[in-house]
């Protein structure tokens, strides 16, 4: 690069005036560092402008103390501002605390709702349990009643054996002849298929005369499977057949599930 | 190199370095402000504010992007122009840009009080008027070359060369 030409171009004067673009400034700065002549030229231009500026100065004293005072005050002011910020902390803490409180309240409310729900659930469970206890008591009473009944001295026990249709089936009849009642224990019978029902017959053997004494209704839902029915007949045997719902006039012997004769007294 | 070091120290918030830089530039910068506001006391006040601003913005100066003097000069020019544009100032004085700063020397009592005022007067008087115009516009008032060309009604290409020869003349006069 021709340094003299560069200097003569007037670009350095514009550089000191601050009239160049950012790129041009960087370029001049680079050349100034590289070529001492350019640096010297810049300094002389600057000195000339400085000297000219002085001619129009107000001529009042340039007291640096005023400026350093202001700088000091600024520093102090900054410290005071920090202090103010400390005061502001309480403001922030206040808001943070109330926010926390609000969140806390919402949380407590939810917790409360949950507890209420739990109490309801427990209440329901308790009711169910009480019902179960009542049911158990009732069923216990029934069982005892049943036990008492079959322990009665007038009771005749008849075992009804399984027949061809269902050899494994069995049943028992407890007959109180005086009270004309028969209790059928049907625990040994399979559940009847849908649309069918067991029918109990009192039988006379010579000649064979069946008389219906009742149906084992609601077989599946009866837990004890002990059914009470009236029997005014002079029975010699009992039989249980499977009949279409509602029962039949006469027994369907092909569906005879259990049969047992009464031992002669 | 010494200036570079001073500027570096100043940027590191060294008050002593700042004081030396202030001593180097304050009078000149105040003068530049005065060419714009044309009021000694006001110029002095703005000048102080400018140096406070310079201190507070120390870290924003980048040596690669220009001379330290140019940086302060720019801050000072802007502060002075802002002042002139503000309403309060408009009420005090009107239309100040018309004449050039030779006027300040001619009837400014402040310049008279200065020890080397006579020498400086010579310096300025020795310059041709068109030199004073172009230097004042480019350096003290911050006109761009294009704006200066329009103001002086000369081709833009002339500004650069005229400025160069005027500064050379000023430098010669300084050595007298």
Residue A227 located in a structural domain: yes
- For the residues A147-163, what does the mean pLDDT come to? 86
The structure tokens listed for A82 are 């920090």
- For the residues B130-148, what does the mean pLDDT come to? 88
pLDDT for the residue numbered B37: 84
Whether B39 and B119 map to the same domain: the answer is no
pLDDT for the residue numbered A222: 80
Q: Which domain holds residue B56?
A: 2-92
Phi–psi pair at A184, nearest 5 degrees: -100, 120
- For the residues A169-188, what does the mean pLDDT come to? 90
Q: Which residues of A21-32 are buried (b: 16+ CB within 10 A; e: fewer)?
A: eeeebeebbebb
pLDDT for the residue numbered B69: 93
Q: How confident is the model at residue B98 (pLDDT cuts 50, 70, 90)?
A: very low
Give how far the C-alpha of residue A89 lies from the chain's centroid of Cα atoms, to the nearest Å: 42
Residue A50 located in a structural domain: yes
Instruction: Considering only the beta carbons, identify the residue of B67, B69, B110 that sits closest to A58.
Output: B110
Residue A22 located in a structural domain: yes
pLDDT for the residue numbered A151: 82
Classify the C-alpha dihedral A37-A39-A41-A44 as positive or negative.
negative
User: Parallel, antiparallel, or unpaired for β A181-185 and A208-215?
Assistant: unpaired
Q: How confident is the model at residue A207 (pLDDT cuts 50, 70, 90)?
A: confident
Is the link from the previous residue into A223 a cis peptide, with omega within 30 of 0?
no
Whether B79 and B157 map to the same domain: the answer is no
Of B93, B162, B85, the closest CA to residue B131 belongs to B162
Partnered with residue B87 across adjacent β-strands are none
pLDDT for the residue numbered B107: 43
Average pLDDT, chain A: 87
Residues of B in contact with A29 (CB under 8 A): 63-66
Q: How confident is the model at residue A35 (pLDDT cuts 50, 70, 90)?
A: very high
- For the residues A46-57, what does the mean pLDDT come to? 84
Q: Per-residue pLDDT for B109 more than 50?
A: no
Q: Per-residue pLDDT for A76 more than 80?
A: no
The answer to whether the CB atoms of B34 and A57 lie below 8 A apart is yes
Q: Per-residue pLDDT for B92 more than 90?
A: no
- For the residues B144-152, what does the mean pLDDT come to? 91
- For the residues A158-178, what does the mean pLDDT come to? 89
Whether B79 and B155 map to the same domain: the answer is no
Report the CATH number at residue A176: 2.60.40
Q: Per-residue pLDDT for A174 more than 80?
A: yes
Residues of B in contact with A40 (CB under 8 A): none
Contact (Cβ atoms closer than 8 angstroms) between residue A251 and residue A243: yes
Whether B119 and B88 map to the same domain: the answer is no
The distance of B87 to chain A (nearest Cα, Å) reads 23
pLDDT for the residue numbered B39: 83
Q: Which domain holds residue A194?
A: 155-261
The distance of A88 to chain B (nearest Cα, Å) reads 26
ipTM value of the model? 0.83
DSSP state of B60: G
The answer to which of A70-74, B67-71, B79-83, B103-107 has the lowest mean pLDDT is B103-107
What are the residues of chain A with a beta carbon less than 8 Å away from any beta carbon of chain B?
8-11, 13-20, 22, 25-26, 29, 42, 44-60, 62, 64, 66-68, 70-71, 74
Classify the C-alpha dihedral A152-A153-A154-A157 as positive or negative.
positive
Residue B42 located in a structural domain: yes
Of A168, A250, A264, the closest CA to residue A209 belongs to A250
Report the CATH number at residue B120: 1.10.10.10
Instruction: Considering only the beta carbons, identify the residue of A8, A19, A56 that sits closest to B104.
Output: A56
pLDDT for the residue numbered B110: 43
> Best of B134, B164, B169, B172 to disrupt the A interface by mutation (most A CBs within 10 Å)?
B164
- For the residues A135-157, what does the mean pLDDT come to? 85
CA pair distance A151, A145, nearest whole angstrom: 10
Report the CATH number at residue B72: 1.10.1740.10
pLDDT for the residue numbered A79: 55
pLDDT for the residue numbered B133: 86
The answer to whether the CB atoms of B161 and A10 lie below 8 A apart is yes
Q: How confident is the model at residue A237 (pLDDT cuts 50, 70, 90)?
A: very high
Question: What percentage of residues in chain A have a pLDDT greater than 70?
Answer: 93
Split into its structural domains, chain A has a count of: 2
The answer to whether the CB atoms of B135 and A49 lie below 8 A apart is yes
Q: How confident is the model at residue A80 (pLDDT cuts 50, 70, 90)?
A: low
- For the residues A75-94, what does the mean pLDDT come to? 67
Whether B74 and B156 map to the same domain: the answer is no
Name the residue with tokens 């006109």.
Answer: B143
- For the residues B100-124, what does the mean pLDDT come to? 51
Q: Per-residue pLDDT for B108 more than 80?
A: no
Name the residue with tokens 């919402």.
Answer: A106
* Chain B stretch 44-63, residues whose beta carbon is closer than 8 A to a beta carbon of chain A: 44, 47-48, 51-52, 55-56, 63
DSSP state of B101: T
Q: How confident is the model at residue B96 (pLDDT cuts 50, 70, 90)?
A: very low
Instruction: Considering only the beta carbons, identify the residue of A16, A44, A55 that sits closest to B124.
Output: A55
Average pLDDT, chain B: 80
Whether B164 and B122 map to the same domain: the answer is yes
What separation, in Å, do the N-terminal and C-terminal C-alpha atoms of chain A show? 148
Question: What percentage of residues in chain B have a pLDDT greater than 70?
Answer: 77
Q: How confident is the model at residue B102 (pLDDT cuts 50, 70, 90)?
A: low
Contact (Cβ atoms closer than 8 angstroms) between residue A240 and residue A213: no
Residue A29 located in a structural domain: yes
Split into its structural domains, chain B has a count of: 2
pLDDT for the residue numbered A147: 84
The structure tokens listed for A264 are 């002669």
Of A88, A25, A63, A11, the closest CA to residue B51 belongs to A63
Three-state DSSP at B2 gives: helix
Whether B155 and B86 map to the same domain: the answer is no
Angle at the Cα of A60 (from A55 to A61), degrees rounded to 5? 115
* Chain B stretch 91-150, residues whose beta carbon is closer than 8 A to a beta carbon of chain A: 101, 104-105, 108, 110-111, 113-114, 117, 120-121, 123-124, 135, 138-140, 142, 144-145
């Amino acid at each position: 690069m021709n340094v003299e030409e560069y200097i003569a171009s007037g670009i350095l004067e514009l550089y000191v005036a601050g009239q160049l673009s950012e790129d041009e400034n960087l370029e001049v700065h680079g050349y100034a560092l590289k070529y001492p002549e350019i640096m010297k030229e810049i300094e002389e231009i600057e000195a000339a402008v400085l000297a000219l500026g002085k001619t129009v100065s107000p001529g009042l004293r340039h007291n640096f103390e005023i400026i350093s005072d202001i700088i000091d005050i600024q520093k102090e002011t900054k410290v005071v501002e920090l202090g103010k910020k400390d005061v502001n902390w309480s403001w922030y803490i206040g808001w943070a605390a109330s926010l926390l409180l609000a969140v806390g309240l919402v949380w407590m409310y939810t917790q409360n709702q949950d507890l209420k729900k739990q109490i309801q659930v427990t209440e329901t469970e308790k009711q169910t349990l009480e019902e179960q206890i009542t049911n158990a008591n009732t069923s216990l009473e029934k069982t005892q009643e049943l036990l008492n009944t079959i322990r009665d001295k007038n009771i005749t026990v008849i075992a009804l054996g399984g027949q061809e249709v269902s050899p494994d089936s069995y049943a028992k009849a407890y007959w109180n002849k005086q009270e004309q009642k028969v209790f059928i224990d049907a625990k040994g019978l399979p559940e009847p298929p849908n649309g069918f029902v067991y029918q109990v017959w009192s039988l006379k053997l010579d000649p064979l005369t069946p008389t219906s004494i009742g149906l084992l209704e609601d077989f599946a839902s009866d837990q004890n499977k002990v059914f009470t029915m009236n029997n005014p007949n002079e029975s010699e045997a009992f039989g249980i057949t499977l009949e279409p719902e509602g029962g039949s006039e006469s027994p369907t012997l092909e569906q005879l599930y259990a049969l047992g004769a009464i031992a002669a007294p | 190199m010494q200036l570079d070091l001073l500027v570096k120290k100043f940027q590191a918030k060294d008050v002593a370095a700042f004081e030396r830089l202030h001593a180097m530039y304050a009078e000149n910068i105040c003068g530049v402000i005065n060419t714009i506001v044309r009021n000694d006391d006001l110029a002095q006040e703005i000048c102080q504010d400018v140096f406070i601003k310079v201190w507070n913005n120390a870290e924003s100066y980048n040596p690669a992007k220009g001379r330290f003097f140019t940086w302060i000069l720019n801050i000072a020019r802007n502060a002075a122009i802002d002042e002139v544009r503000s309403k309060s100032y408009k009420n005090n004085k009107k239309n100040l840009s018309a004449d050039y700063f030779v006027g300040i020397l001619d009837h400014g009592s402040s310049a008279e009080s200065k020890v080397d005022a006579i020498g400086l007067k010579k310096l300025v008087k020795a310059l041709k008027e068109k030199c004073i115009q172009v230097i004042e516009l480019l350096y003290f008032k911050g006109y761009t070359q294009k704006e200066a060309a329009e103001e002086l009604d000369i081709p833009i290409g002339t500004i650069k060369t005229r400025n160069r020869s005027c500064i050379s003349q000023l430098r010669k006069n300084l050595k007298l």
